[in-house]
Amino acid sequence: MKYFFYESEDTKMKRPNILLITTDQQRLDTIGTYGSKIAKTPYIDALAKDGSVFESTFNQNPVCVPARACIQTGRYTRQHGVTYMENVMDNTPGLPDHEHVFWDYLKGAGYDTAAFGKIHMYPERNFDKANLTKGKGSRWTQAEGLPIGSAPLGEQYKAWLEEKHPGGYEKIYQQRRDPEYKENRTAIENVLPVDQYVDYWIAQNTVDYIEQRETDRPFFIWCGFCGPHGPFDPPKPYSTMYSPDDMPLPLGYEKLSTAKRIQGDKLRRISAYYYGLVTLIDHMVGTITDALKNKEIYENTVVIYTSDHGEMLGDFGRFGKANFYDTVTHMPLIVKPASGYPVNSRVKGLTEHIDIAPTILDFAGLDIPDCMEGISLLKAMESGFSEKEAVLCEHTLNDQSRHGVCIRNQDYKMWYWTNPDEYALFDLGKDPDETCNLAEDPVYSDIMNCMKGLLINKFLTMKKR
C-alpha cells in the first residue's frame, strides 16, 4: 500500500484539483502497466505508479456518446436515456436537461470547470472554458458537403490550425481522398507535423490552462483526446515508431475465410499506426503532468485516466466497436489521488465507468447524489479490491434495429441481442478470448439461467431517478 501525504496544512485544507483524461477507442492491451509488451507508454505507466490501476473496469455502452454519458452522469444507459448514436452524428439525441453531470456539483462547490478536446456531449454544458472537437471522424473525406454533416474536427481546431498552417485543415481531408487512405483502411502517415495534430492541440490547451491560472480556486479539467480512434493517422515520428513486422496478427485470423481475411501485412500496418497514436497520446500526457509539477500542484491534483471503449483492430475479422467483446468493453482505469489518500497499486474486482463520477465527487468532499448508480472507488483503492457482483453494458444500433444487453461477473459473460434473438455465453476462466459460445450447451444451462437472473435483478434494483 502506498500513501500520499500533504506537504503543508495550507494544502490540506484545499479541495483537490481534478483532471480527467480520456482517450477514444483505446484497447486495454496498449498500455505497459496493463501488461503490453509492445506499447511504449512511459508517462501513463508513471502515472499508474503514483496511484491505483484498476484491473477489471468495464464500460456501460460500447460506442462514444452513450458511453461518455454514463461517465458524465454516473448512471446506466437506460437511466440517462442516451441509448444510441445517429449516422449523422450531430442528430444524436443529447443528454436530457433533467440529467445532472458530475461537474454541476463541482461547480456548485466552487470549482472552475474546463474542457478541452473530445468530450462528445450533446450539447456541451456548464464549463467555464471550453475548446472542443467532436473527434477525427474517419468517415469524412471532405470538411463540408457530405450527407453525414460537417467534419467533426470542428471550427475551434480549424481556426487554431489555420493560424499556424494556412490551408492545413483542407490538407487533412485532401489526404483522405488519396487512394492510399481507403486501400489501407485509414492507416496513413498524417500530412501535418505533430505540433499541428489535433491531440497536440488538445494537450496544449490543457497545459495553457494549467500554466495561466492565477487563482487558488480548485479546478476540474476534462482533457479528451481524439486518438487512437481512426483514422489511424499518426504524424512523424510516431508513424515509424513501431515496425509492422513486430505487430501480432489479430485474434482468430487463421480461422477466417479467405473472403474475410485482410492481408497480414496490411493488418500489421494498421496496428503499428494505432500503437503510434497511443504513444503520441502518452507523450501528451507527459506534457500535462509536467505542467502540473512545474506549477507545484501535482500533489494536490487527482488525475484519472480512462477510455470510452476499445477497438477490435481486426480481432475475429472485425474493426471498430459496437459489440460486447472484452476488447471493446474492458477499459483502462488509472486513478492518481491527491496526497493524503492510502491506495493500493492494483485494485482487483469488478468496477464500472459509472463509478468515476461518484469517485470524483468523493475526492472533492461532496455528497454523492442518490440518483447516481455508480459507487465511489476510494474504499476499493484503499483495500485493493472491489466487491461489485456484476457489470452491465447495453447498446442500440444506429438505426435502432437491434438492442443488446450484456451482463458479466468474474467468471462468465452473457449477452442477448434482439432482431433476431441471439444469446452468447462465455466461460471466461477457460476461454478468456471469448471464442466458444456456450449458450446452447446443456452443460451450462444452469449457468445460463443464473446469468439471466443476474441481469433481471440488475434491472429490477436499478434506481429510477
Per-residue pLDDT reduced to its tens digit, 149-180: 999 999 999 999 999 999 999 999 999 999 99
Kindly state whether residues 274 and 306 are assigned to the same domain: yes
Nearest alpha-carbon partner for 18 in 400, 361, 414: 361
What CATH number has the domain bearing residue 322?
3.40.720.10
pLDDT at 8 over 50: no
Kindly state whether residues 292 and 437 are assigned to the same domain: no
pLDDT range class, residue 258, cuts 50, 70, 90 = confident
**What are the b/e assignments for 109-124, b being 16+ CB within 10 Å?**
eebbbbbbbbbbbbeb
Q: For 332-400, give the DSSP string.
A: EEEEEPPTT-EE-SEEEEEEEGGGHHHHHHHHTT-PPPTT--S---HHHHHHSB--B--EEEEEE-TTS
pLDDT at 2 over 50: no
Lookup: cell for 402: 437491434
Rounded mean pLDDT of 181-207?
A: 98
Kindly state whether residues 434 and 371 are assigned to the same domain: no
Three-state secondary structure readout of 149-169: CCCCCHHHHHHHHHHHCCCHH
Q: In the chain, pLDDT over 90 holds for what percent of residues? A: 91
Q: Is the pTM of this model over 0.85?
A: yes
| CA distances (Å), origin 381, targets 13, 348, 385 | 22, 9, 7
pLDDT range class, residue 464, cuts 50, 70, 90 = confident
CA torsion, ordered 315, 86, 227, 50, to nearest 10 deg: -90
Kindly state whether residues 265 and 336 are assigned to the same domain: yes
CA 433 to the chain's CA centroid: 21
Instruction: Provide the domain count of the chain.
Output: 2
Alpha carbon distance 365, 359 (integer Å):
10
Which of 335, 364, 394 terminates a domain? The answer is 394
Which of 367, 394, 421 terminates a domain? The answer is 394
pLDDT at 285 over 70: yes
Q: What is the pLDDT of residues 374-395, one digit of tens each?
A: 999 999 999 999 999 999 999 9
Q: What is the pLDDT of residues 23-73, one digit of tens each?
A: 999 999 999 999 999 999 999 999 999 999 999 999 999 999 999 999 999
What CATH number has the domain bearing residue 462?
3.30.1120
Nearest alpha-carbon partner for 64 in 231, 308, 277, 354: 308
Kindly state whether residues 215 and 269 are assigned to the same domain: yes
The conformational region for residue 137 under phi > 0 = left, psi -120 to 50 = alpha, else beta, is: left
Look at residue 65 in the predicted model and tell me its pLDDT.
Answer: 96
Look at residue 39 in the predicted model and tell me its pLDDT.
Answer: 97
Residue whose cell numbers read 487512405: 181
Rounded mean pLDDT of 72-99?
A: 93
Rounded mean pLDDT of 301-322?
A: 97
- Beta bridge partner(s), residue 53: 334, 346
Kindly state whether residues 318 and 411 are assigned to the same domain: no
Rounded mean pLDDT of 275-281?
A: 98
Alpha carbon distance 225, 230 (integer Å):
12
- Beta bridge partner(s), residue 57: 331, 351
Q: Which domain holds residue 423?
A: 402-465
Rounded mean pLDDT of 194-213?
A: 98
Give yes or no for a contact between 173 and 151, defined as CB atoms under 8 angstroms apart: yes
CA 337 to the chain's CA centroid: 19
Look at residue 344 in the predicted model and tell me its pLDDT.
Answer: 93
Kindly state whether residues 258 and 367 are assigned to the same domain: yes
Look at residue 261 in the predicted model and tell me its pLDDT.
Answer: 84
Look at residue 257 in the predicted model and tell me its pLDDT.
Answer: 83
Kindly state whether residues 348 and 442 are assigned to the same domain: no
Which of 394, 415, 440 terminates a domain? The answer is 394
Look at residue 465 in the predicted model and tell me its pLDDT.
Answer: 67
Residue whose cell numbers read 500503437: 275
Kindly state whether residues 295 and 321 are assigned to the same domain: yes
Kindly state whether residues 257 and 406 are assigned to the same domain: no
Look at residue 218 in the predicted model and tell me its pLDDT.
Answer: 98
pLDDT range class, residue 12, cuts 50, 70, 90 = very low
CA torsion, ordered 103, 92, 351, 228, to nearest 10 deg: -100
**What are the b/e assignments for 399-436, b being 16+ CB within 10 Å?**
eeeeebbbbbbeebbbbbbeeeeeebbbbeeeeeebee
Q: What is the pLDDT of residues 340-369, one digit of tens each?
A: 888 899 999 999 999 999 999 999 999 999
Q: Which amino acid appears at position 176 of this protein?
A: R
Alpha carbon distance 40, 279 (integer Å):
6
pLDDT at 80 over 80: yes
Alpha carbon distance 305, 284 (integer Å):
13
pLDDT at 3 over 70: no
Give yes or no for a contact between 102 and 78, defined as CB atoms under 8 angstroms apart: no
Max Cα-Cα span within the chain: 67
Kindly state whether residues 302 and 445 are assigned to the same domain: no
Kindly state whether residues 385 and 431 are assigned to the same domain: no
Look at residue 375 in the predicted model and tell me its pLDDT.
Answer: 98
The conformational region for residue 250 under phi > 0 = left, psi -120 to 50 = alpha, else beta, is: beta
